[in-house]
Amino acid sequence: MSEIEIFNVMVLATMFILGAIFGSFACCQAWRWRYMVHKKKDLGQWSVCLHCGKKLHWYDNIPIISWLMLRGKCRYCHKKIGIADFLSEISMAVAFFMLSWAYLLPMLHGWDILMRNPAQLALQLGSFILTLLMLVVLVILAVYDAKWGELPLVLLLLAVNMGAVILVLKLISTSLAGDEAISELLNALFGVLILAGTCFLIYRISHERLMGGGDWILALALALALADWWLALWTIFLANLLGDLIALPGAMKQGNHVVHFGPFLVAAFVIVLVLGNALPSLLKGII
């Protein structure tokens, strides 16, 4: 392995672990939020088993690994720990890994060139970090939606704000590079119309059966951060595809056709963000 390859592996491994930690954090926050809002109870500072209330040791609290070692059960009472914990840890780890591969590595490799333009560097780095932080909020929302079929409005509005700030950073970066910021703004707004508009229409037409009232606000946050109508179109397409493949068969079997769309929107968003930067010709060339 060359030095550059070792460097790449180290960066990506670090981001994978960081993602797993943030995924664990996000899932905990979803539970905390639920307890705060519905039971008016603070879960306290430490991680506890929700069944027996025992405080967990650090070694039972390692993202991904502990869940696998304990096979998804509490060490003390042997009751099941939800699959949501594991899924949010692993998917966040993969998301951090892929986003770093698509955005962070190119930035680090072009560091010398970027350093000649510190403002541009700060904007790119800022928008990358903000995207990761937004992802934490999005995963809290996705876990909440998957578990309880609701999207807390405060978190939705936080995500919309973060998406708007990411868009502003991109617009500043465009105008600093001497390109037309106005056409990029129109591009972003068209994306909002496609992604949030479609979700809003489905929500109204299906009378909340296919899509809840929170989904279009979530879609708005995603479209702002994507800032591109092609990527917005791909996101709605992929989210529907994932939802149909994964959730719809189960929902049909149970007789209620309610599909919680939030997690699929978030998953599609990450895939599109990664492919949009790594393989732009794939998403924009073929359709």
- Nearby residues of 83 by Cβ (< 8 Å), 6 or more positions away: 72
State in angstroms the smallest separation of the CB of 70 from Zn ion: 10
Helix (H, G, I), strand (E, B) or coil at 80: strand
User: What are the C-alpha distances in Å from 60 to residues 55, 65, 190, 210?
Assistant: 10, 9, 47, 38
Residue with tokens 């809003």: 200
Tell me, what DSSP letter sits at residue 59?
G
Which position among 7, 76, 190, 237 is part of the footprint of Zn ion (CB under 5 A)?
Answer: 76
- Pick between residue 77 and residue 177 the one whose CB is nearest to Zn ion: 77
- Helix %, strand %, coil % of the chain (to 5): 75, 0, 25
State in angstroms the smallest separation of the CB of 34 from Zn ion: 18
Given a contact cutoff of 8 angstroms between Cβ atoms, the answer to whether 64 and 89 are in contact is: yes
Which position among 7, 25, 28, 51 is part of the footprint of Zn ion (CB under 5 A)?
Answer: 51
Which position among 49, 168, 185, 247 is part of the footprint of Zn ion (CB under 5 A)?
Answer: 49
Pick the stretch among 40-48, 66-74, 148-156, 276-284 that binds Zn ion (CB under 5 A). 66-74
Size of the site for Zn ion (CB under 5 A): 6
Pick the stretch among 11-19, 74-82, 131-139, 219-227 that binds Zn ion (CB under 5 A). 74-82
User: What are the C-alpha distances in Å from 3 to residues 64, 151, 233?
Assistant: 29, 45, 39
State in angstroms the smallest separation of the CB of 75 from Zn ion: 7
Does position 81 bind Zn ion by CB under 5 A? no
State in angstroms the smallest separation of the CB of 135 from Zn ion: 29
State in angstroms the smallest separation of the CB of 61 from Zn ion: 13
Given a contact cutoff of 8 angstroms between Cβ atoms, the answer to whether 121 and 181 are in contact is: no
Residues at the contact surface with Zn ion, assessed by CB under 5 A:
49, 51-52, 74, 76-77
